[in-house]
Structure 1
Amino acid sequence: MGTTKRIPIVTGIGVAVALLAAACGAANDKEEPPAPGVSPKSYADEPAELVIFGAVGNTEEVWNERFGNALKQKFPNYKFTYIQGSAKNTLQNHIAAGQTVDLVHDSLGGMRTNIIDNGLNFDLAPLMKSHQIDASRFEKPVFDALSDKGKLYGFPLHDGGLVLYYNKDIFDKFGVEYPKNGMTWDEAIALGKRLTRFDGGVQYLGLGVSVNHMLTMNPYSLPFVSETTGKAAIDSDAYRKLVGKTILEPTEADGYRHYLIASNKSITNDNFMKDKHLAMFVMNFYLQLQPDFGTFDWGIVSLPVFGDLPGVGSQPYPNGLFVTSSSKYKDQGMEVLHFLVSDEFQMQLSRKGFIPVVKTKAVRDAYAQDTAFKDKQIVEALYANKPAAPMARSANEGLVLTPLAANLAKVMRGVMDLNTALRVSEEQANKALEEAVRK
């Protein structure tokens, strides 16, 4: 379940606003947009040498299989050069060496540090206007996630979000009904208590939550860092409510805390996928990275919802492609982005098991049809909830998430109370944030 990139993730004001906003500072600002009813100029036949930096870390083989081969076929006059990013070959190092980069493939988690902090951010509003791109086709919160202060810097290629997985074998073993789409957190927690039991020498756990993912994509869109003060924003009643319900209450079932103390581990993907002792697991949806999916009978339903947020799921977590401010081929870059979010290409991705970013029903309904999991009723789970609004993001939110997750683990083991955990976490985070500012 994991995404293809680190979790520590932009205030989305809206693609529609961006489309109507007056563009400034862009290479194409002097061009008048095409008159209504007139087709925009195509740059597909104009040659371009596009360097793509894969900050996500995919190999060139993976890039080509997912995107590159289709791009080469669609744009025979473009020369594409793909560079795989890594811990040693970072985007910062690439720029420092004076090397060109036109497009950056990155996750939401890397947008600020890789794109904005490196000065590569380029507002796409003028290009969307001149290329006459219809924003109404797209899932708005998913595009908003790649925005910052009202400016859209990249197009999402495919999406991610939190869902609830469940192990059918455990439910069948204990004769408990399967979870359903649209459950509340209270219903999911009650179901988890029925499945938290010691049987045959094995401690089964009913409901587990990936702490980092829940905090990072929380349905209330609560940020880690305040936009106004630059300080941690986690010692609040809203955070107490979020954490208490989603992370702590599931662990209050008899036997759960004893397991956490004895194992001295947090609940992870391995509890669900490898050990297979966890009945339900809330985690980011990513079908391609789960080699253990074929080893047991699993199901999927939508993320449980809060009573005051009916029908609202997690925030989106897309991977995207960004046109850089330094590129000499911005119009050709927009041609690439426009193709990758076309129904034609999104259908290909959807069939392979990548969550599409368009609202076209046929594209959504085709999800995972070319995979071994086409009969898992995944589409219903993915779209039962609407996405939450993207929260305000900070390049330093990892400095808040790290102490918060560590102290919440203490609360789950009963060695710290929640109020203390939030207060201490905020103090530790603010100290780290102050040190980061001084550097």
Structure 2
Amino acid sequence: MKRWAGLFFVLFILVSGCVQASERPDGKPNGQDNNNQSQAANEQEEVQLTYFSRYPEMEKTNQRLIDAFEEKNPHIQIELKSYAPLSYWSKISAMAAAGSAPDVFDMNSDFVDEWASKGFLYNLQDFVDNDINKEDYFTSVFDAVRYPDKETGDMYAFPYAWVTTVLYYNKDMFDEAGLEYPTKEWTWDEFLHAAQTLTLDTNNDGRTDQYGFWLYGRYAHIEPWIYQNDGLILNNEKTEFAMDDNAREAVKFLTNLTAEHKVSPKPMEMQGTNQSDIFPLGTAAMWVDGSWNIENNRNIINGQFDWGISTVPRGNNWKEDVAYGWPDNIAIFNETDHPQEAWEFIKFMTGKERTVENYTGGQVPVFKEAAISDEWLEKDKLPDNKSIILEQGELVVRNSFTRNWAEWRGYGTAEGSGMNGEVDQILDGKKTFDEAMDSLEKYANEVLEQAYQN
């Protein structure tokens, strides 16, 4: 009996030793974890990703970020290609249709619905749910990249920055006129009074030398006023152009600034001048447009006058402040072979590693820590109240993006047509308000009907 007991003891020791040496659940011997993990990291599959950017002016910035990413992820290599916006969309659209789009690419918010409906975009919702702490981001702008529903749909792109619209105003002109500066509580009546006071014929030759305001039909000039009047231009599903009474009232008020009150020039009178240069050149005292124009203002004004920003005035039917804006995004092509690695790259390009110097003057980092920093607020530069922009990011953020938005709105290659063109027709005195709105409704719904049939 003792002999058998001794034999069992020896077998136990041998078996135990085998288990400890080579039969762990992960199949690795004890004492080898650190070495093998290090070896595994070195032996990770090398992945090559292509990233298309539509901002050639940001090529150095993007490459700097890519270099930092590759240093942290040596098994992932990123090939960057930059194209100007017009050539970018024609090139990448053709590639997507042929099933050969880049792995990662810049994505406009207004194209998300169209591209997601065609199956070009990778659904990022699981990545976002698992990896993103929403407290760290301006999540109000996430809705712009959801599909098919903007409130409950999944995210098909991820923002790295966002923009909104503001009221730019010339402080020197306000001071000379003895006017108080615009406030967040400004009404249409207060705005109109200021615009009329600031419209001047300085040499009494019967021609206006200084306008109180500058307006034309582009989206950032019009939609903010509609939303600040509790108006809507689309049905709830965003499949039909259907301006409600509040929206029509807002557009009527705006077009009357030129047609009736003469406080804004006709667009045809400004031909030959970049629309974004009219305010910084001192031709108009006020202007509503995107926060992205801050850098252009600084460059052109160059200390010639003092200026600031405020929020868009509240309409007669105002209920709560609503911001008009959207994010700038990065997306993954649905047919990429490396979605996980592509997502790791997007996380890096949109998170804390993208520091303030990697944004232009009016772009707001979607990562809050960067946005609230002194470096982004730039209180030593004009405007000295950029915090107003951050406050708008905490509001309800609306936009009118749909499939084929650019066509019915009159944007990009469709500039001067659609809603943009019809509003300019009113401003130039070529159509009445009702004629232009009837024509717009018919055309926009033809575009949308075709877009949502496919």
Range into which the TM-score falls when normalised by the shorter chain = 0.7 to 0.9
The separation in 2 between residues aligned to 1:324 and 1:158, in whole angstroms, is: 20
Alignment correspondent of 1:292: 300
In the TM superposition, what whole-angstrom CA distance separates every residue of 1:231-264 from its partner, at most 9, and x where no partner exists? 4323x3132123123x22433675437x429827
The separation in 2 between residues aligned to 1:252 and 1:51, in whole angstroms, is: 50
Alignment correspondent of 2:406: 398
Q: Which amino acid aligns with 2:334?
A: S
The separation in 2 between residues aligned to 1:208 and 1:307, in whole angstroms, is: 21
8 Å contact from structure 2 (residues 166, 311) kept in 1: yes
The separation in 2 between residues aligned to 1:331 and 1:376, in whole angstroms, is: 41
8 Å contact from structure 2 (residues 166, 290) kept in 1: yes
Alignment correspondent of 1:232: 241
Pair 1:44–1:118, CA change in 2 (3 A): farther
Alignment correspondent of 1:119: 119
> How many residue pairs align between the two structures?
389
Pair 1:369–1:295, CA change in 2 (3 A): same
Q: Which amino acid aligns with 2:51?
A: I
The separation in 1 between residues aligned to 2:268 and 2:101, in whole angstroms, is: 52
Alignment correspondent of 2:15: none
The separation in 2 between residues aligned to 1:280 and 1:184, in whole angstroms, is: 15
The separation in 1 between residues aligned to 2:368 and 2:181, in whole angstroms, is: 29
* CA drift at 1:54: 1.7
The separation in 1 between residues aligned to 2:108 and 2:453, in whole angstroms, is: 27
- Counterpart secondary structure, 2:403: coil
Pair 1:130–1:182, CA change in 2 (3 A): same
Pair 1:430–1:125, CA change in 2 (3 A): closer
Alignment correspondent of 1:32: none
TM-score of the two chains, using structure 1 as the length reference: 0.75
* CA drift at 1:347: 4.7
Give RMSD over aligned pairs: 3.7
The separation in 1 between residues aligned to 2:360 and 2:87, in whole angstroms, is: 34
- Counterpart secondary structure, 2:213: strand
In the TM superposition, what whole-angstrom CA distance separates every residue of 1:280-328 from its partner, at most 9, and x where no partner exists? 0000111344531425322212222335445524322211111222122
Alignment correspondent of 1:38: none
Which of 192, 195, 198 does residue 189 from structure 1 map onto? 192
Unpaired stretches in structure 1, ≥5 consecutive residues: 1-42
The separation in 2 between residues aligned to 1:229 and 1:340, in whole angstroms, is: 31
Higher RCO, Cα 8 Å, sep 6+: 1
8 Å contact from structure 1 (residues 312, 385) kept in 2: no
Pair 1:95–1:263, CA change in 2 (3 A): closer
Unpaired stretches in structure 2, ≥5 consecutive residues: 1-39, 410-416
Alignment correspondent of 2:180: 177
8 Å contact from structure 1 (residues 340, 346) kept in 2: no
Alignment of 1:209 onto 2:208 = no
The separation in 2 between residues aligned to 1:225 and 1:308, in whole angstroms, is: 18
- Counterpart secondary structure, 1:68: helix
- Counterpart secondary structure, 1:163: strand
8 Å contact from structure 1 (residues 206, 278) kept in 2: yes
Alignment correspondent of 1:333: 342
Alignment of 1:355 onto 2:335 = no
8 Å contact from structure 1 (residues 155, 322) kept in 2: yes
The separation in 2 between residues aligned to 1:54 and 1:350, in whole angstroms, is: 14
Alignment of 1:407 onto 2:422 = yes
The separation in 1 between residues aligned to 2:274 and 2:79, in whole angstroms, is: 40
| Most deviating of 144-153 and 166-175 | 166-175
* CA drift at 1:372: 7.0
8 Å contact from structure 1 (residues 121, 153) kept in 2: yes
The separation in 2 between residues aligned to 1:351 and 1:424, in whole angstroms, is: 38
The separation in 2 between residues aligned to 1:152 and 1:170, in whole angstroms, is: 45
- Counterpart secondary structure, 1:248: helix
8 Å contact from structure 1 (residues 162, 313) kept in 2: no
* CA drift at 1:117: 5.1
Which of 420, 438, 441 does residue 426 from structure 1 map onto? 441
1:97-112 equivalence runs, <5 A: 99=100, 101-112=102-113
The separation in 1 between residues aligned to 2:73 and 2:190, in whole angstroms, is: 51
Q: Greater CA radius of gyration, 1 or 2?
A: 2
* CA drift at 1:81: 0.7
Which of the two has greater helix per residue? 2
In the TM superposition, what whole-angstrom CA distance separates every residue of 1:22-80 from its partner, at most 9, and x where no partner exists? xxxxxxxxxxxxxxxxxxxxx99854322112245556335325x43443444343201
8 Å contact from structure 1 (residues 232, 430) kept in 2: yes
| Most deviating of 381-390 and 187-196 | 381-390
TM-score of the two chains, using structure 2 as the length reference: 0.72
Alignment of 1:314 onto 2:315 = no
Alignment correspondent of 2:156: 153
Pair 1:182–1:351, CA change in 2 (3 A): farther
The separation in 1 between residues aligned to 2:279 and 2:269, in whole angstroms, is: 15
1:380-395 equivalence runs, <5 A: 380-383=388-391, 386-391=394-399, 393-395=401-403
In the TM superposition, what whole-angstrom CA distance separates every residue of 1:201-238 from its partner, at most 9, and x where no partner exists? 5521112335321445552686665576944323x313
In the TM superposition, what whole-angstrom CA distance separates every residue of 1:142-171 from its partner, at most 9, and x where no partner exists? 111111120101111111111011122322
Alignment correspondent of 1:263: 269
Pair 1:148–1:242, CA change in 2 (3 A): farther
- Counterpart secondary structure, 2:323: coil
Q: Which amino acid aligns with 2:167?
A: L
- Counterpart secondary structure, 1:83: strand
